[in-house]
């Protein structure tokens, strides 16, 4: 049986979904070793408990999962474009410089899947960009080194 497609997610719903997704998946107690269905049921419960009056559509765990998958795919592609642009830029150009001149977005929209659309999730980019999955590789290496040093220092008693 074919189901009808629901109303498109609003910007506020996307932001809330990303915040809830990160909160739950990065929690060392809640986010680890859960089956996919349980994880999305939990995300669904938290999402619906926090949604405000502007979020009138009743979202299912499956619709939340599909929307987050769409967001993650686009954000991963956009992060790749930023990395490509960074490798072309002279040292000293910041990530905001790159985004502000839309070079990464132009590169993104050259992909046949996103042609004529461009990057449509810039409003969640600021929420997701500093998480480990989408973090700049230079920043990620520094974070890993810090963790390694902290665990090494902690074992020296």
Alpha-carbon distance of 79 to 125, in angstroms, equals: 9
Could you tell me the pLDDT band of residue 140, with boundaries at 50, 70 and 90?
A: very low
Percent of the chain surpassing pLDDT 90 = 35
Could you tell me the pLDDT band of residue 34, with boundaries at 50, 70 and 90?
A: confident
Identify the domain containing residue 83 by its residue range.
11-143
Structural domain count, the chain: 1
Q: What is the pLDDT averaged over residues 129-144?
A: 66
Q: What is the pLDDT averaged over residues 77-84?
A: 87
Asked whether residue 37 is domain-assigned, the answer is yes
Asked whether residue 1 is domain-assigned, the answer is no
CA dihedral 59, 60, 65, 68 (to 10 degrees): 0
Q: Is the pLDDT of residue 55 over 50?
A: yes
pLDDT at position 48, please?
92
Asked whether residue 99 is domain-assigned, the answer is yes
Asked whether residue 33 is domain-assigned, the answer is yes
pLDDT at position 82, please?
83
Q: Is the pLDDT of residue 24 over 90?
A: yes
Asked whether residue 17 is domain-assigned, the answer is yes
Could you tell me the pLDDT band of residue 29, with boundaries at 50, 70 and 90?
A: confident
Asked whether residue 85 is domain-assigned, the answer is yes
Name the nearest CA neighbour of 105 among 78, 71, 134: 78
């Amino acid at each position: 049986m074919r189901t009808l497609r629901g109303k498109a997610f609003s910007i506020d719903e996307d932001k809330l979904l990303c915040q809830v997704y990160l909160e739950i998946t990065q929690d060392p107690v809640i986010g680890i070793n859960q089956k996919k269905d349980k994880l999305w049921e939990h995300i669904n419960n938290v999402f619906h408990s926090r949604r405000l009056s502007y979020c009138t559509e009743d979202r299912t765990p499956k619709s939340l999962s599909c929307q987050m998958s769409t967001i993650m795919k686009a954000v991963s592609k956009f992060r790749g474009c930023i990395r490509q642009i960074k490798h072309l830029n002279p040292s000293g150009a910041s990530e905001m410089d790159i985004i502000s001149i839309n070079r990464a977005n132009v590169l993104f929209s050259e992909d046949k899947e996103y042609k004529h659309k461009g990057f449509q999730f810039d409003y969640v980019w600021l929420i997701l960009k500093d998480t480990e999955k989408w973090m700049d590789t230079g920043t990620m290496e520094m974070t890993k080194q810090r963790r390694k040093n902290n665990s090494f220092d902690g074992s020296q008693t």
